[in-house]
Amino acid sequence: MAAASADTALKRTPLYDKHVAAGAKLVPFAGWEMPVQYGGGVKAEHLATRATAGVFDVSHMGEIATSGPQAEAFLQHLLSNDVTKLQTGGAQYSVLCREDGGVLDDLFTYRLGAESFLTVTNASNHDKDLAWFLKQATGFDVTVTDVHDQYAMLAVQGPQAREIVQALADGPLPDRFTCRHRLLRGQRVLVCGTGYTGEDGVELLIDPADAPMIWDEVVKRGAVPVGLAARDTLRLEVNYHLYGNDLMEERGPIEAGLGWACKEATGFIGSEAVAAVRAAGPSEQLIAFTMASGIARQGNAVVGGGEVTSGTMSPSLEIGIGMAYVPAAMAAEGTEIQIDVRGKQRAATVAKKPLYKK
């Protein structure tokens, strides 16, 4: 019984005390006690990230290390993208599919060396992904290791993000979609030119012991602490997928608009199913929409078929926005759709992605 209660206890990141000190409202999220917002509010955090820089504790996200002579071949078998195109110091987005093409997770993988890769998982999927990696590793000369405990992860995002992090670094930061180790204030950090906001910036994979110091250094230089609520509005404005909302095992990558991250010729698990959907065309497609009035939310039905998977008030655009799966015939940009928002039909328009552009 003691073990069971320990399992259900919420985990805290190395930055928990920083969040409390910054006035965070902490909520349970995927088994973690995470800041949903700070004292200044969601809108202010969102707009600060667009205008200057925000810092996000994303230490709840997991990491899986894959190494060994067949590490590349193994990941090529699992991940939807062409891993052989990923150079050392590169970053690549892909999905992890079941045999039937259903999406287990969407992931960034960083290549640290010829035989060494680091894959970042969604917190809610980490255990599932790890089990999948381990199960599929049979027959490959690879070592798959759960390294979640070895990293804290900070995202610094926004037009001033690079300048802020550069001031701590011993050399130039990696370009977009590349990664490299740097010393930040003397501590070794994997700096990645990636993010989830639509802004330039970096993600930092840090020894947990160093994370509070790095947090203080970037906050001192003007990065505003940003919680999960604004992380969600930021990503939705630029139509990045959120697993559990816009991606799920019951749907495939083609209907989700992630065909660009799928290279079926590599023969990854699920590639046949994905190729079949690509050839036939998906029956439903994930579209972005804007609303004339009101806000649609996850689970609201689209009249004529389909469902909203993400919806919010856009702080930058100041209108209701979202994403929905709709029948392919309703998916063209400019199509007027109606969404049933708790019994009231509200007009929305299928819009070009990304909804927000600088």
Partner 1 sequence: MADASYPTELLYHPEHDWARIDDGTAVFGITWFAQDALGEVVFFDPPEVGSTVTAGESYAEVESVKAVSDVVAPLSGEIIEVNLGLGDTPENINNDPYGNGWMVKVKLSDSSETDGLLDAGAYEATLS
Total site size for partner 1, rule CB under 8 A: 17
CB of 219 to partner 1, least distance (A): 22
Binding residue (CB under 8 A) for partner 1 from 41, 212, 244, 305 = 41
| Alpha carbon distance 288, 330 (integer Å) | 12
| Alpha carbon distance 352, 82 (integer Å) | 27
Residues 335-354 that bind partner 1 (CB under 8 A): 342, 344
Binding residue (CB under 8 A) for partner 1 from 11, 12, 43, 181 = 43
Binding residue (CB under 8 A) for partner 1 from 47, 224, 229, 326 = 229
3-state class of 103 per DSSP?
A: strand
Report which DSSP code applies to 158. Answer: S
Nearer to partner 1, 124 or 312 (CB): 312
| Alpha carbon distance 202, 190 (integer Å) | 10
Task: Please give the sequence-ordered ranges of beta strands (E in DSSP) within 122-274, or none if there are none.
Answer: 143-146, 152-157, 179-184, 187-192, 201-206, 224-225
CB of 342 to partner 1, least distance (A): 7
Using CB under 8 A as the binding rule, whether residue 294 contacts partner 1 is answered as: yes
Please name the helix (run of DSSP H) or strand (run of DSSP E) that holds residue 41, with its range, or none: none
The window from 111-119, 120-128, 154-162, 229-237 that contacts partner 1 (CB under 8 A) reads: 229-237
| Alpha carbon distance 41, 26 (integer Å) | 13
Residues 61/66/67/68 CA torsion (nearest 10 deg): 170
CB of 233 to partner 1, least distance (A): 7
Nearer to partner 1, 87 or 293 (CB): 293
Using CB under 8 A as the binding rule, whether residue 68 contacts partner 1 is answered as: no
Q: Which residues pair with 196 in a beta bridge?
A: none
Q: Is 174 left (phi over 0), alpha (psi -120 to 50) or beta?
A: beta
Using CB under 8 A as the binding rule, whether residue 221 contacts partner 1 is answered as: no
Q: Under a CB-based contact definition with an 8 Å cutoff, are residues 115 and 75 in contact?
A: no
3-state class of 134 per DSSP?
A: helix
Residues 297-336 that bind partner 1 (CB under 8 A): 297, 312-313, 315, 320
CB of 42 to partner 1, least distance (A): 5
Using CB under 8 A as the binding rule, whether residue 37 contacts partner 1 is answered as: yes
Binding mask 145-184 toward partner 1 (x if CB under 8 A, else -) reads ----------------------------------------
Q: What is the DSSP string of 63-79?
A: EEEEESTTHHHHHHHHB
CB of 247 to partner 1, least distance (A): 20
CB of 197 to partner 1, least distance (A): 16
Q: Which two tokens stand for residue 235?
A: 């990503």
Using CB under 8 A as the binding rule, whether residue 244 contacts partner 1 is answered as: no
Nearest to 92 by CA among 107, 71, 72, 113: 107
Residues that bind partner 1 in the complex, under the rule CB under 8 A: 36-37, 41-43, 229, 232-233, 294-295, 297, 312-313, 315, 320, 342, 344
